[in-house]
């Protein structure tokens, strides 16, 4: 039940970020689905590995889906990708880092900061990895008409 509730929250949160970033309303459902799927990948991967690896895997899935759906929906990839990434951004880790540094717990703050930097680096690396794939892999294929 926990993963289902988290996925629903990621779906709604992704749509909320879509509204904030003025995504066309016709793309809200697609953005929400991409964010929800990305969260599921993140949560399942996190159960067996680090947050950085989970962030990388989820980012790869999110950006792949965004590139494919951008062609199908005829919108720029960023319209789907940017809101879809938000559920996996380590915002609470950044908050905890700053909080720990402010109360004087330098060791915890630095440790949390390194974890946040690893997760952010993994997200960036995932985006770069998928965008390095050739555009022709994501274009619509022309329909082949049989000749008589």
Q: Where are the domains of the chain?
A: 2-88+126-138
Distances (CA, A) of 61 to 17, 34, 38, 119: 19, 9, 6, 15
Cα separation, 118 vs 124, whole angstroms:
10
Q: Which of 127, 26, 40 is nearest to 18 (CA)?
A: 26
pLDDT of residue 141: 65
Cα separation, 84 vs 18, whole angstroms:
9
Cα separation, 16 vs 106, whole angstroms:
34
Statement: residue 140 has pLDDT above 90: no
* 1-39 per-position pLDDT tens digit: 799 999 999 999 999 999 999 999 999 999 999 999 999
Share of the chain above pLDDT 90, in %: 87
Statement: residue 55 has pLDDT above 90: yes
Cα separation, 60 vs 117, whole angstroms:
18
Token pair of 1 as six digits: 């039940």
Q: How far from the centroid of its chain's Cα atoms is residue 78's Cα?
A: 11
Statement: residue 147 has pLDDT above 90: no
Average pLDDT over residues 123-136: 91
Average pLDDT over residues 88-109: 94
pLDDT of residue 16: 95
Statement: residue 137 has pLDDT above 90: no
Cα separation, 62 vs 35, whole angstroms:
7
Q: pTM value?
A: 0.87
Vertex 140: Cα angle to 134 and 142 (nearest 5): 120
């Amino acid at each position: 039940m926990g993963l289902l509730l988290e996925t629903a929250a990621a779906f709604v949160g992704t749509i909320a970020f879509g509204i904030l970033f003025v995504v066309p309303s016709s793309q809200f459902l697609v953005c929400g689905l991409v964010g929800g799927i990305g969260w599921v990948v993140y949560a399942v991967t996190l159960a067996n590995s680090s947050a950085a690896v989970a962030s990388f895997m989820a980012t790869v899935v999110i950006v792949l889906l965004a590139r494919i759906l951008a062609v199908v929906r005829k919108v720029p990839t960023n319209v789907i990708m940017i809101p879809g990434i938000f559920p996996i951004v380590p915002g609470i880790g950044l908050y905890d880092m700053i909080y720990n540094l402010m109360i004087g717990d330098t060791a915890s703050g630095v440790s949390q900061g390194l974890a946040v930097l690893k997760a952010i680096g993994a997200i960036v690396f995932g985006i770069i990895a998928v965008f390095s794939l050739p555009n022709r892999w994501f274009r619509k294929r022309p329909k082949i008409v049989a000749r008589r």
